[in-house]
Amino acid sequence: YTLFISVKIHKKYIIIIKTIMFNKQLNDLGRKIEDEILPTINKYYSSDFKRNENNIFDVFDFRDEENNIIVEVKGRRIKSTEYKDTIITAHKITEGLKALDLGYQVFFVFVFTDKTYEIELKEDTNWKCMITGSNSIEHYLIPLEDMTEINIK
């Protein structure tokens, strides 16, 4: 998604217009990464994850309703050693905490160019939050040192 903000003055009022554009190319890349990692996460979590095919704007990528597990996959176009933290939008964390209240386990899987890591969201998770990213919105910074490498072939 790309966020555009324009400011217009109409008479004595300032009108701020926020437009979010859908980035098909980035969505297609994310979908490719998700499809490639699906057999690995099915094996790793001993699950049979399903994607919500009817809603591309679903907050989470995969669910296993039988085992009450949700996985959100985030593809990264860098090596895992590039930064000490990786980011995820605050909205994903908020929705993940709601899912915990409904009895789900929630995992975030980060697919870097060299390795894949996972981390479980817990009720007492305490990650640093800041405004960052290409759309300048709230993101949580997740330390890679707190993650577990997924190493299944």
DSSP labels, 51-92: --TT-TT-S-SEEETTTTEEEEEEE-SS-TTS-SEEEEEHHH
Which pLDDT score is estimated for 2? 45
Percent above pLDDT 70 for the chain: 80
Give me the chain's average pLDDT, please: 85
**What pLDDT was estimated at residue 1?**
45
Contact 106, 70 (CB under 8 A): yes
CA dihedral 136, 142, 144, 147 (to 10 degrees): -140
Phi/psi-derived region of residue 146, left when phi > 0, alpha when psi is between -120 and 50, beta in every other case: alpha
CA distance 3 to 41: 31
pLDDT tier, 128 (very low <50, low <70, confident <90, very high otherwise): very high
pLDDT at 153 over 70: no
The pLDDT score that the predictor gives to residue 137 is: 84
Q: In terms of pLDDT, which residue wins out, 34 or 58?
A: 34
pLDDT in tens, 65-101: 999 999 999 999 999 999 999 999 999 999 999 999 9
Distances, alpha carbon 84 to alpha carbons 50, 67, 71, 80, in Å: 31, 32, 22, 8
pLDDT at 13 over 80: no
